[in-house]
Structure 1
């Protein structure tokens, strides 16, 4: 997968349309004070309210499409919406304003349910008492009160993204009054006194950022304004970083990747010059900037290639914080800015980023780890990974998936892990957000659910048999520990005989704590030549919620498979990063940050679950219309392009006067798009348009059309006359030799 801008590169870029029941538009304006203003409109669909029973009490549950729980345990469960807004290059935010429209008073007397308790997955308790936050529920005022919450500004490959939470619903717990704002206008003012970091000006980076934000047209400004970018001296997709003694064990993996087009380089800590995590991160930044890498495989256990130990905390229902230190390879993935701004012993605090803001939480490179201790571990890991790279895509076992859920304790709907696992199949809109899971028509499923098992306790032998008989994917929610996962202990891994290797995603506690003695995730992936080729496990507690399936770990699990099946992201490292970034807007909820830090990938991040289809980009669009304009007069312009593969198309138009559209469409290949535009000032303008196909997102080159101001000078009069002669009497002019 080389970074050259070719048809094959663009065919490797999958684009999925974000389908939401909201509309938004944007406009960038530069005023006389060198400030830029971004305006967006969010329109919300119908709010549903229905009654539920919790602990013999009746509550009102609110459901608003594509809005979700953002508060903490015990607070009213009011849906909010995350907004991801691309800022102009080298800018800083000076003001954020909210304007509300279509206010709807829903009446009084509502008793909105409280958010359930966050519970470590390792705990089995009796039914907890449903606890309300007495302060908030006793407040005779509206909650959340503010119409938006500032989350932070985060960087993706040099593009700065503002993340905020919108609160279209306001609730007075004392009077029970509900107010619903159906339209919210967001205005972001910026000044051009910021800095740029890590911007590479690569088309692949621009394509990716445009998928992440609601105003993708701003991305065009970055290449126009930032002139000083690093030169890609060498060209690699994957960096394997290990030690001198283990380096040669990774050579077969390098060769396998190169043969498939994933250009790979192996470097060691000797090249880094240190085993200090800060130095390793700096080396990765240098490789990202100068080699264009997208993936990093760390070839060593924590005591060989050290992870950064981050500090994190989360709140339970009684607002008592859980806190811990944990190993997180997120530090090597998100490369912009510091992770310890205040210089204390707690890396990764929400104020440890640049200038005391949040740390960077959007991945610039996608990181996985081969948790190897010696050359035998390397050989096991490499042999399984190479086998998966070279697998026959028609193998029957690749269509087998297992879902395993355990008894979690008596917590209402959260009693059974199977209730959570069912949300990973097909489309699911539970808990206020929609994800696409395993398509049931394409897969054969095995269920290991305590909920449905005789005696409510499936035995470990069943899981061992599932693995030995050949299964591609295993999903798990149940109690775990460092040496225990899916009801198996470390030594049970030696009972595996499979040569068809699996991928495991488990929400269990501590099974991925690789900073301790060898955890069971290491046994699954590197201690034998059987078992799993890769997986995602938690370094410390996993988290679920009482009386709800909207557990913190569950959100990441659902979004991971939504990345794979809904957003067409087959690369496991990229899918893991996407599952986190889809939850970034609620990073301050309960234990979301905890899971964000701890869900590490054990495996090669560049591996793909399925092959990427080839695709050719659309043709450069043709633009036609009046070539001269008068100020204040509306003119029609046509835009048309074709796609070699017959895909539907979206159009983006830059009118050349500071105005531009969102991506418009979809339109059929060859269909004409006609838009009207009015130029409000004298001058010559160049209309530009590009096209991208759906769903891949491959983009055309820019089409251009020049429009000149129509003055009343004799020269322009003659020019207009000549142009009309060309249009109406081309044969006469030909005969006259003109």
Structure 2
């Protein structure tokens, strides 16, 4: 008897969209540092390339994506280069440092001859990196372009003034949070925020949440402004709760004692974050106020490339996607720990 093996291929649907960006010479600014030239695009001069390589700026472009989608690939289909007038000695990329670090303590990284002797364009690619994420229930992405290319051996700068590119999308992976319901006012506020960020505002849709027009229908379950504090401050903050509600954003106070008694978590920081996630998913939360001393509402120390000791951040309470510690070690916010660095609530 013949045995038939059935193999089922799970095909992931892909969607392709085309866009164009334009970069003009008047968007560039040049400065000097000793014998080196520092170039920026609309004030952006940071480079994420290896220290010692030519320090060219990236140009971030943000896109609204169809909800539940993320970028699979970015392909440049057409570009228009021009050579800039001048003899350029581009400042080398440096080791990342915190803004608060004293500049006099920074160690200068000299040019790496392996790159500065190149007779070809550096970095050679017009797309440096891209990332996708969930922002307030909307899918968004950032693409970092490198429209400036440098030929070190010839001291030439090439500017790609027109870049046509195709973006391929796929269903979003990872643990994301989405609002199940929210007020129409909060939904429109988020749509306005996303539209102001992206190059394709006409493609901004809706989050998929059940929308309630609170100007017509009262819903006691809606909480748009959450005040988290320890019990010592709750009475003092009742006026803020009342005022915000009167201003049109339903406010509520919850104490840390209530949070620690009712929400699970590995530690108090995770319990607070899980409370915020609950209010975001189920009550239409937009604003969060953390009020109290650090021993009552603690920050989360997270990974940054510029500091091996990790630094405190409250972004942990604003970016609600992922666990911020997917590998389960004692270090939070590492590159593969699940966060996408797009905020989901406004935090203060």
Normalising by structure 1, we get a TM-score of 0.39
On the 8 A contact 1:242/1:268 being kept in 2, the answer is yes
Q: Deviations over 1:92-141 (max 9, x none)?
A: 43332112322224589632233467476453738976733444324444
Between the two structures, name the one with larger relative contact order (CA 8 Å, sep ≥ 6). Answer: 2
Q: Kindly indicate whether the alpha-carbon contact (under 8 Å) linking 2:129 and 2:145 is maintained by their aligned counterparts in 1.
A: no
Counterpart residue number, 1:294: 286
Aligned residues: 319
1:113 to 68, 80, 91: 91
* C-alpha contact (below 8 Å) 1:85/1:215 kept by paired residues: yes
**Given the alignment, which residue of 105, 128, 131 partners 1:149?**
128
Alpha-carbon distance, 1:159 to partner: 1.1
Map of 2:257 onto structure 1: 270
Give distance in 2, aligned partners of 1:126 and 1:312. 19
Q: Is the 8 A contact 2:148 2:158 kept in 1?
A: yes
Corresponding residue to 2:295 among 284, 295, 303: 303
Give the whole-Å Cα distance in 2 for the aligned partners of 1:106 and 1:258: 56
In the alignment, is residue 104 of structure 1 matched against residue 82 of structure 2?
Answer: yes
Once residues 80 and 103 of structure 1 are traced to their aligned partners in structure 2, the CA distance between those partners, rounded to angstroms, is: 16
Residue of structure 1 equivalent to 2:116: 137
Distance 1:122 1:339 in 2: 26
1:63: how far off?
Answer: 5.0
Counterparts of 1:290 and 1:49, CA distance in 2: 46
Aligned match of 2:56? 78
Match for residue 255 of structure 1? 242
Residues of 2 paired with 1:171 and 1:346: CA distance?
38
CA contact (8 A) 2:71 2:132 kept: no
Alignment RMSD, CA only? Answer: 3.4
Q: Give 1:82 deviation, angstroms.
A: 0.3
When Rg is computed on C-alpha atoms for both structures, the one with the higher figure is 1
Q: CA deviation at 1:198?
A: 1.3
Q: Secondary structure at the match of 2:238?
A: helix
The answer on 1:43 being equivalent to 2:22 is: yes
Q: In structure 2, which of residues 225, 231, 248 is the aligned counterpart of residue 238 of structure 1?
A: 225
Contact 1:77 1:113 in 2 (8 A): yes
- 3-state SS of paired residue (2:275): helix
Q: Whole-Å Cα distance in 1 between the matches of residues 331 and 38 of structure 2?
A: 38
CA distance in 2, matches of 1:68, 1:212: 20
Note if contact 2:224-2:287 (Cα within 8 Å) is conserved in structure 1: yes
Closer/same/farther in 2, CA of residues 67 and 52 from structure 1, 3 Å limit = closer
1:69 aligned residue: 46
Query: Any idea what SS the aligned residue of 2:323 has?
Result: coil
Q: Report the CA distance shift for 1:172/1:238 in structure 2 as closer, same or farther (over 3 A).
A: same
- Conserved? CA contact 1:35–1:189, under 8 Å: yes
Show structure 1 runs of 5+ residues with no match. 1-32, 315-321, 354-358, 369-738
Q: For 1:717-736, what aligned pairs fall within 5 Å after superposition?
A: none
Name the residue aligned to 1:413.
none
1:345 aligns with 2:341: no
SS in 2 for 1:142: coil
Query: Counterpart in 1 of 2:272?
Result: 280
- Structure 1, 289-298 or 133-142: larger mean CA deviation: 133-142
2:341 to 331, 352, 361: 361
Name the CA shift for 1:51/1:188 in 2 (closer, same or farther; >3 Å): closer
Structure 2 match to 1:95: 73
Q: Secondary structure at the match of 1:248?
A: coil
Question: Unaligned stretches of 5+ in structure 2?
Answer: 1-11, 213-218
C-alpha distance after superposition, 1:171-210 (max 9, x if no partner): 1222323322111012111235768731457222222221
Alignment of 1:330 with 2:315, yes or no, is: yes
Find the counterpart in structure 1 of residue 6 from structure 2: none
Cα distance in 2 for residues equivalent to 1:181 and 1:175 = 18
SS of residue in 2 equivalent to 1:249: coil
CA drift of 1:40 comes to 0.8
Quick one: distance in 2 between partners of 1:312 and 1:194?
23
